[in-house]
Structure 1
Amino acid sequence: MKPCCPGNPLDRYASRREFLYVGLLGGLGMTLPGFLQQALGAQKDYPLREGVAKGIIHIFLPGGIAHQESFDPKPFAPAEYRGPFGAIDTKLKGVQFGQHMKDLAQIADKFTVIRSMSHGEAAHERGTHNMFTGYRPSPAVEYPSIGSIISHEMGPQNNLPPYVCVPSVPNEFANSGFLSSAYGPFALGSDPAQGNFQVRDLSLPKGVTDERFARRRSLLETVDHHFRTLEKSDALDSMDAFYQHAYKLISSQQAREAFNLAAEPDALKDEYGRTQAGQRMLLARRLIEGGVRFVSLTAGGWDHHDNLKAGIEKELPPVDKALATLIRDLERRGMLDSTLVVVTSEFGRTPKVNPTGGRDHWPRVFSVMMAGGGVNQGYVHGASDALGGEPEQDMVTVSDLATTMYNQIGITADKELMSPGNRPIEICDGGKVLDSILAKKA
């Protein structure tokens, strides 16, 4: 290719390939063409309902947090079932949490706890698949994640990706499944808990000024006009639309600002905690506030087969502090009613403490927390039995939980999507909306 303009050597050559390296999405969990196709908007079979929630924050505790040490303690069980910790009173009369959930105990009147979640998958991968997709794993179908479904059905707003993972895509089941990769997550590429946090490749590459960027855009428009004149190609018109959306995201100060954690005051960062959990949850709130539809983040590691006591003492206090602050922060900003916060794990832990002082995998019953987004405040749904081994009342399935999440954001869960084999598959099969956990309309 011949030089196109004088000056900096970096400006002398331009091609379509060059415009794919403007520094937007490389290495962020999805390709630029994929994001651009997504940005044009998903095809919808029928209009979305108006959801109570405008956005969802999904906080996943990988490894399987022990429900006995968190939301469902068993203080009157024998010691080998009760575990190494006591229980503390909450804001709700007669409801107790594990002793390391002091901050959440003080605002238990702000959220719902489900103590009767259940599924049959005791392996990490299969349990994680359940919680991210609402489906049991199948060798025949690669199901899309809840975030990808929301991306597909709702599309972007405010020039922001609809689905963001903090700090990275946590597992293979957080992806788009049988949907196009266009609906996969936008991953940050770095952890907001790091002092030098910035979203990799969101801004223009080093050495590319706004003036140079505009000049490249002008050049692209000239080249595209030439190709259109010669080829009269509909595909080129479509490609032009993709590029327009790329430029909007790169050049939008509003979009960049949503990721600017440095703009948050130090006092608020301290309130969340200068921890992995704290800074990830703070960024999640900022992204939802900016217009992201679904933020998925992980916090801690909870696979405590050995020395459960030390593991809980290390992992739970910072999550307790951060989560309580997130709920208070959303409420202060008037965002709690329109933001659904969901805290899950792939399963719970065995009722009995094992010989090495840990608890093993236990999917038969475990706990989930939900706040905001039209969910009841100060409510406990369902119950496990006296030893924390089985659902005793109002069992909740994975598909029930996913259906309720979709319902709150305005998606009908039994809508059918077409898989690559031209087979209709419901967004979520067999679940019911958990009406009893939803706030009653005035």
Structure 2
Amino acid sequence: MKPICPGNPLDRYSSRREFLHVGLLGGLGLTLPQFFSQKAQAAQKFYELREGVAQGIIHIFLPGGIAHQESFDPKPYAPAEYRGPFGAINTKIPGVQFGERLPELAQMADKMTIIRSMSHGEAAHERGTHNMFTGYRPSPALEYPSYGSVISHEMGSKNNLPPYVCVPSVPNEFAGSGYLSSAYGPFALGSDPANGNFQVRDLNLPNGCDEFRFSRRRSLLETVDSHFRALEKSDAIDAMDAFYQHAYKLISSEKAREAFNLKAEPDALKDEYGRNEAGQRMLLARRLIEAGTRFVSLTVGGWDHHDNIKGAFEGQMPSVDKAIATLIRDLDRRGMLDSTLVMVTTEFGRTPKINPTGGRDHWPSVFSVVMAGGGFKQGYVHGSSDALGGGVDTDGVTVEDLSTTIYNQIGITSDKELMAPGGRPIEIVDGGQVLDALLAKKA
């Protein structure tokens, strides 16, 4: 048989499993890791969801634990060893200040909800990160799914796009599908949008395999599927087929592929975001949400500043400050801010007192996160830390509360039970309540 595409391994492999893995993926040049995993065992589902305010979420995670004192909760009247190396600047919210290295975000504060009273009990990076990606404390007995995977499971894809995308790569082990099928895991780009030659892997057909041959290969796969389905009579085969359909739709849809095309954005807007990792990652995130992706997760920088917090902030914060502010402004200009939730989080805060090496150490007792759009109030500060930034003073917010509120805004009821391995029902969030104080009143 003449190969349909170059390097067709069908001549060499006879088992269905080998055909699927090597014949389809190898011949087409596809990997589509995690999102289209062969290990997925759950069939495509259709869900009845109540309408949410937010149609998409952009999760900007600042890994390492950004200091709240130098960012969203400065302490200008504290002693110098607590206050830190920077002053504070006024924001668009009367009487509210940010750290002086956040001038752009200070001018966008009237579009934000700033939560200054987040806390949890996990001082280790891995455990704190787990909390902020899943809404659960870590457990040795169960691997919990991330926000993006739950949203992918509950809402499915839109406009042939992956519902959950990580920019540029899966940031940590807790950003995956947990006890859910790996089919609900993230689609990772494999390349950074800040690269001048940025191109998403897997979205183009390899040289020598045109659309006609691609369609013929799909027909061949369906023929082989039917043969092995008759032999194996496995429900898992039907489940796998659904995910290959996703792959075909993404590759064959010009509109879906175009969502990843940063070249379509005007140079002036690229400059406004910043031609760097922070700016281009956030610009692509906006483009994906605009096209129909449900949840985009991205990370920027490293904020584990045990030493020289002054130099670290001066080096990293300008591009991040500019990029986040531009993202919020761009969404607002396009009329997308009300329907898009931007959330800026980190795994924990930093110690109230500067240490001997000019840094701050891990501190989960209180820290700050920021929400913009998606039905959250604009120009609102929720809760407070104490005078030295060492603990919650008023209106404490737990990870469960925040998770429940986030799911509420996209239309998911957080106490719904999903099935873990063995048929064990697990609530999407265990406890927590919708924080109505954070939400704008409906017109």
Bin the TM-score by the shorter chain.
Answer: over 0.9
Equivalent position to 1:33, from 38, 42, 46: 38
1:87/1:13 Cα in 2 relative to 1: closer, same or farther (>3 Å)?
A: same
CA distance in 2, matches of 1:227, 1:308: 60
Structure 2 equivalent of residue 19 of structure 1: 24
Structure 2 equivalent of residue 369 of structure 1: 370
1:210/1:105 Cα in 2 relative to 1: closer, same or farther (>3 Å)?
A: same
1:369/1:9 Cα in 2 relative to 1: closer, same or farther (>3 Å)?
A: closer
Structure 1 equivalent of residue 98 of structure 2: 97
1:98/1:23 Cα in 2 relative to 1: closer, same or farther (>3 Å)?
A: farther
Structure 2 equivalent of residue 75 of structure 1: 76
What is the CA RMSD across the aligned residues, in angstroms?
2.2
Structure 2 equivalent of residue 270 of structure 1: 271
Q: Secondary structure at the match of 1:412?
A: coil
Percent identical residues: 74
Query: What residue identity is the alignment partner of 2:58?
Result: I
- What is the 5 A alignment of 1:159-170? 159-170=160-171
1:212 maps to 2:213: yes
Structure 2 equivalent of residue 115 of structure 1: 116
1:104/1:416 Cα in 2 relative to 1: closer, same or farther (>3 Å)?
A: same
CA distance in 2, matches of 1:233, 1:422: 23
Q: How many Å apart are 1:248 and its aligned residue?
A: 1.5
CA distance in 1, matches of 2:420, 2:226: 37
Q: How many Å apart are 1:41 and its aligned residue?
A: 3.2
5+ long unaligned stretches in structure 1 = none
Preserved CA contact (<8 Å) 1:179 1:419: yes
1:153 maps to 2:158: no
CA distance in 2, matches of 1:143, 1:196: 36
Q: Secondary structure at the match of 2:296?
A: strand
Structure 1 equivalent of residue 390 of structure 2: 389
1:423/1:110 Cα in 2 relative to 1: closer, same or farther (>3 Å)?
A: same
CA distance in 2, matches of 1:232, 1:128: 42
Query: What residue identity is the alignment partner of 1:283?
Result: L
Query: What residue identity is the alignment partner of 1:33?
Result: Q
CA distance in 2, matches of 1:218, 1:279: 38
CA distance in 2, matches of 1:12, 1:135: 44
- Deviation per residue, 1:223-263 (Å, 9 max, x gap): 456667x7695756666554433321210111111111111
Normalising by structure 2, what TM-score? 0.92
- Deviation per residue, 1:187-222 (Å, 9 max, x gap): 111111111111112211233222321232343345
Query: What residue identity is the alignment partner of 2:312?
Result: G
Preserved CA contact (<8 Å) 2:273 2:326: yes
- Deviation per residue, 1:31-75 (Å, 9 max, x gap): 44357x77x63365xx21100000100000000000000000000
Q: Secondary structure at the match of 2:26?
A: coil
Q: Secondary structure at the match of 1:174?
A: coil
Query: What residue identity is the alignment partner of 2:268?
Result: A
Preserved CA contact (<8 Å) 1:11 1:212: no
- Deviation per residue, 1:88-111 (Å, 9 max, x gap): 011111000000110111111111
Preserved CA contact (<8 Å) 1:116 1:382: yes
Structure 1 equivalent of residue 288 of structure 2: 287
Preserved CA contact (<8 Å) 1:28 1:189: no
Preserved CA contact (<8 Å) 2:142 2:179: yes
1:34/1:150 Cα in 2 relative to 1: closer, same or farther (>3 Å)?
A: farther
CA distance in 1, matches of 2:86, 2:355: 15
Query: What residue identity is the alignment partner of 2:286?
Result: R
1:180/1:244 Cα in 2 relative to 1: closer, same or farther (>3 Å)?
A: closer
- What is the 5 A alignment of 1:23-422? 23=28, 25-26=30-31, 28-33=33-38, 41-42=44-45, 44=47, 47-224=48-225, 241-422=242-423
CA distance in 1, matches of 2:8, 2:27: 12
Preserved CA contact (<8 Å) 1:34 1:183: no
Normalising by structure 1, what TM-score? 0.93
Q: How many Å apart are 1:4 and its aligned residue?
A: 4.0
CA distance in 2, matches of 1:64, 1:345: 5
CA distance in 1, matches of 2:178, 2:232: 35
Q: Secondary structure at the match of 2:98?
A: strand
1:237/1:170 Cα in 2 relative to 1: closer, same or farther (>3 Å)?
A: closer
Q: How many Å apart are 1:141 and its aligned residue?
A: 1.5
Preserved CA contact (<8 Å) 2:34 2:183: no
Q: How many Å apart are 1:27 and its aligned residue?
A: 6.0
Preserved CA contact (<8 Å) 2:9 2:23: no
CA distance in 2, matches of 1:239, 1:392: 51
Query: What residue identity is the alignment partner of 2:342?
Result: V
CA distance in 2, matches of 1:240, 1:394: 49
233-242 or 103-112, larger mean C-alpha shift = 233-242
Q: Secondary structure at the match of 1:158?
A: coil
Q: How many Å apart are 1:421 and its aligned residue?
A: 3.1
Q: How many Å apart are 1:23 and its aligned residue?
A: 4.2
CA distance in 2, matches of 1:157, 1:120: 37
5+ long unaligned stretches in structure 2 = 12-18
